[in-house]
Amino acid sequence: METPKNPLSIDVRIREGFSRIATAMRIEEWKKAKEVGLNPTQLAVLALLEGRKDGLNVKEIAAHLGVSQPSATDSIAALEKKEHLEKRAEQGDRRAVRVHLTSTGLAAVQRDAGGDLAEQAVGSLEEREQEHLLLSLIKMIRHLQESGAIPLQRMCVTCRYFAPFAHPDGERPHHCHFVDAAFGQRELRVDCRDHDETDPPSRAATWEAFQAGQPNLQAP
Ligand code: SF4
């Protein structure tokens, strides 16, 4: 049996913690999906496509959801039957298709089931703790995407519009060139609809500047 004298490593215990949070999120996902007559994978497909004006192909959908292509294909077919999705030929290649959200699909994904457990848990943290957590998550997600474990996410740190620590203002040090406005650490995006992917060398330079500018965050 594990005891404080003989604990598992901290990375194992953090993973156990993530697993508990994931359980709460799964409960919510089942509840929300059931309310709109879908299963959680189908709802996740709709959520993934929300705000993607160019849609995604099946391979991309499977990679983002971490499921096999046949499984993604089944979910897409079921959603197409419900008129939540439609397939359109890719520009310049009529044989290739991209999957797009319909207005019915958008209504389903935007329906608020209320009482998000994960958001309530985040709300129990102090503001400083929330900021620490957001920065840690961004760093971990970036690690996963740079190692090829997950596809590139629509985060500020991988966006060509992002200028980290462009302003001396400690409250709003970053700049978004898409909206031409300064913003703070708490507004850093993990999944931004206006994201435009930058090339790997620029991405590395942006990350370096982002890391170099980080204030030494003290524990709250
Ligand atoms: S467009 Fe979105 S992802 Fe890009 S810098 Fe602005 S807020 Fe961040």
Find the mean pLDDT for residues 19-23.
94
Pocket lining for ligand 1, CB < 6 angstroms: 156, 159, 161-162, 176, 178, 189, 192, 194-195
Q: What is the pTM of this model?
A: 0.86
Q: Is pLDDT at 93 greater than 80 in this prediction?
A: no
Q: Which of 195, 197, 207 to mutate to test the pocket of ligand 1 (most atoms within 8 A of CB)?
A: 195
* pLDDT bucket at 8, cuts 50 / 70 / 90: confident
pLDDT one-digit tens code per residue, 152-204: 999 999 999 999 999 999 899 999 999 999 999 999 999 999 999 999 999 99
CB burial readout 95-134, b (16+ within 10 A) else e: eebbbbbbebbeebbeeeeeeeeeeeeeeeeeeeeebbeb
Q: What domains does the chain contain, in order, with CATH numbers?
A: 10-110 (1.10.10.10), 126-213 (no CATH)
Q: Residue 192 Cα, ligand 1 centroid: separation in angstroms?
A: 6
Q: What are phi and psi of 215, to 5 degrees?
A: -70, 155
Protein residue whose Cα sits closest to atom 3 of ligand 1: 156
Q: Is pLDDT at 4 greater than 90 in this prediction?
A: no
Find the mean pLDDT for residues 64-89.
95
Find the mean pLDDT for residues 27-31.
90
The alpha carbon of residue 4 and the mean position of all alpha carbons in its chain are separated, in whole angstroms, by: 35
* pLDDT bucket at 99, cuts 50 / 70 / 90: very high
Q: CA torsion sign, 120 to 192 to 158 to 150?
A: positive
